[in-house]
């Protein structure tokens, strides 16, 4: 094998390894809307801040990219993100739940925070 073939093989293997983490199941925004009640109490309130475990600004997620939302939920579920409330919520979500919620929030208009 020449160096070009080795580099091509390495690139293909690298991409094949990365694709499962990037490719997310297509979500159903309607199903996500039905599942979003657990999210709306924090993520739908302008300028909302939690008081547990510390004061923390809760981001509005309407209009966010679906892939970002899925990745964030996966990271909470895996324990790679540390907010305890989000970790607890994400722990109970299936991949389909995550995809549906992400599709719903991605379809929502971006709302600017009230001043």
pLDDT digits (tens, 9 = 90+) for 68-80: 999 999 999 999 9
CA distances from 67 to 25, 64, 104 (A): 9, 9, 12
My answer on whether omega of the bond before 53 falls inside 30° of 0, hence cis, is: yes
Helix axes 84-91, 66-78, angle to 10 degrees: 100
What's the pLDDT band for 105 if we cut at 50, 70, 90?
very high
Q: Which domains does the chain have, with CATH numbers?
A: 26-107 (1.10.760.10)
The SS3 assignment for 105 reads helix
Give me the numbers of helices (H) and strands (E) for the chain, helices first please.
Answer: 6, 2
3-state SS assignment for residue 50:
strand
Higher pLDDT, 109 or 101: 101
pTM for the full predicted model: 0.71
């Amino acid at each position: 094998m020449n160096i070009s073939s080795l580099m091509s093989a390495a690139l293909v293997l690298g991409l094949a390894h990365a694709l499962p983490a990037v490719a997310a199941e297509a979500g159903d925004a309607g199903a996500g809307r039905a599942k979003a009640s657990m999210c709306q109490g924090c993520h739908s309130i302008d300028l909302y801040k939690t008081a547990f475990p510390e004061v923390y600004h809760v981001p509005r997620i309407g209009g966010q990219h679906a892939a970002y939302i899925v990745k964030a939920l996966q990271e909470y579920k895996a324990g790679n993100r540390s907010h305890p409330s989000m970790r607890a919520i994400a722990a109970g979500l299936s991949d389909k739940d995550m995809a549906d919620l992400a599709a719903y929030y991605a379809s929502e208009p971006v709302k600017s925070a009230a001043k």
